[in-house]
Amino acid sequence: MSINKKIYIAGHKGMVGSAIERLLRYKGHTNIITMSRNDLDLTSQEKVNQFFKQERPEEVYLAAAKVGGIHANNTYPADFIYQNLMIESNIIHACYLNNIKKILFLGSSCIYPKDASQPIAENQLLTGLLEPTNEAYAIAKIAGIKLCESYNMQHQDKKLDYRCVMPTNLYGPGDNYHPQNSHVIPGLIRRFHEAKVNNLPVVEIWGTGKPRREFLHVDDMASACIHVMNLSSKKYLTEVRSNCSHLNIGYGKDISIMELAELIKKIIGFKGDIQNNLSMPDGTPRKLLDVRKINKLGWFPAISLENGIELTYRNFLENFE
């Protein structure tokens, strides 16, 4: 892996993009391009084309996206589908126009059907209906996978190598702790912390607490992304097909939301009770990714869930207290 190659990280201020940048710099890379949202509007085709024509990076990590939890996805579906379609379409097409051969597109495990069999293998994509609460976001991410596959297939003469990874639920430094628009781990960390500080008797969790989820620390996700980007084409193609070219990235184990709440309660030191708000949706009953392919390609997570949440809580205290 050459440390001198020119790398562009789209979405470098987001949770995953910032983790990728941190790890690349730790590995000695200095020729890294980043652009803030104010400097480059990724939903503008003209501005994105101009940027790639000028910079011509050798590799692109496409981590830029509009993201949010169940509440945000339910409230702003048009924003989620439009902005994500525009970002990925503009970047992927601009790479093609400028003969940039290496892209790693980051999707989401919500691309899979709501009732997919568990654990979810990559070939279950497009085999059933999506979870309605994040359908718009999922469709945009599916389109990104198919964009990469379509450019690879149609332009084989250019030897494009556009790869896709689908992470499970991520958490860690740089997460969003908004009271309504956050994902489950940062949302629970904030709620339990505020309840502890304010001596509240109860913390409420949405739904029944029965759904099971898999969680991966964002630093593990970054290591997986860099691992996949740097696999030889020969090795990468041992586990993917031209029309099913994405790889699941996950921890390999899941936990119920109630078990997760109890774990976060213990780590934060909240002494009160947990109460279920049954008026709020559960979302998908279970979502555990089949990670045998990425494991066969030599990548495994290094951070346990408990250690990861402890690290995340410390980061929350440093940045929000």
Residue 309 lies in a domain: no
What is residue 285's predicted lDDT score, i.e. its pLDDT? 81
Residue 96 lies in a domain: yes
Mean pLDDT value of segment 29-52: 96
Identify any residues that bridge with 273 across adjacent strands, giving them in sequence order. Answer: 202
- Across 168-183, b (16+ Cβ under 10 Å) vs e yields bbbbbbbbbbeeebbb
Average pLDDT taken over every residue of the chain: 94
**Beta-carbon contacts of residue 171 (< 8 Å; ≥ 6 apart):** 183, 185, 186, 215, 216, 217, 218, 308, 309, 312
pLDDT at 98 over 90: yes
What is residue 287's predicted lDDT score, i.e. its pLDDT? 86
Active site residues: 137
Confidence band, pLDDT 50/70/90 cuts, at residue 183 = confident
Residue 210 lies in a domain: no
User: Three-state SS for 171?
Assistant: strand
What is residue 72's predicted lDDT score, i.e. its pLDDT? 78
Residue 182 lies in a domain: no
- Cα separation, 125 vs 113, whole angstroms: 7
Residue 39 lies in a domain: yes
pLDDT at 186 over 70: yes
pLDDT 10s digits, 5-23? 999 999 999 999 999 999 9
Confidence band, pLDDT 50/70/90 cuts, at residue 275 = very high
- Cα separation, 254 vs 211, whole angstroms: 10
* Total of domains in the chain: 1
Mean pLDDT value of segment 128-156: 95
Residue 21 lies in a domain: yes
Residue 307 lies in a domain: no
Share of the chain above pLDDT 90, in %: 86
Residue 235 lies in a domain: yes
pTM listed for this prediction: 0.93
Which of 152-161, 187-196, 223-232, 276-285 is predicted with the least confidence, judged by mean pLDDT?
276-285
- Give me the torsion for CA of 205, 208, 212, 218, rounded to 10°: -10
- Cα separation, 276 vs 186, whole angstroms: 18
Q: Are strands 246-249 and 286-287 parallel, antiparallel or unpaired?
A: unpaired
Mean pLDDT value of segment 159-163: 97
pLDDT 10s digits, 57-96? 999 999 999 887 777 788 889 999 999 999 999 999 999 9
Q: What is the CATH number of the domain that holds 103?
A: 3.40.50.720
Q: Which residue range is the domain that position 58 belongs to? A: 7-174+215-251+289-302
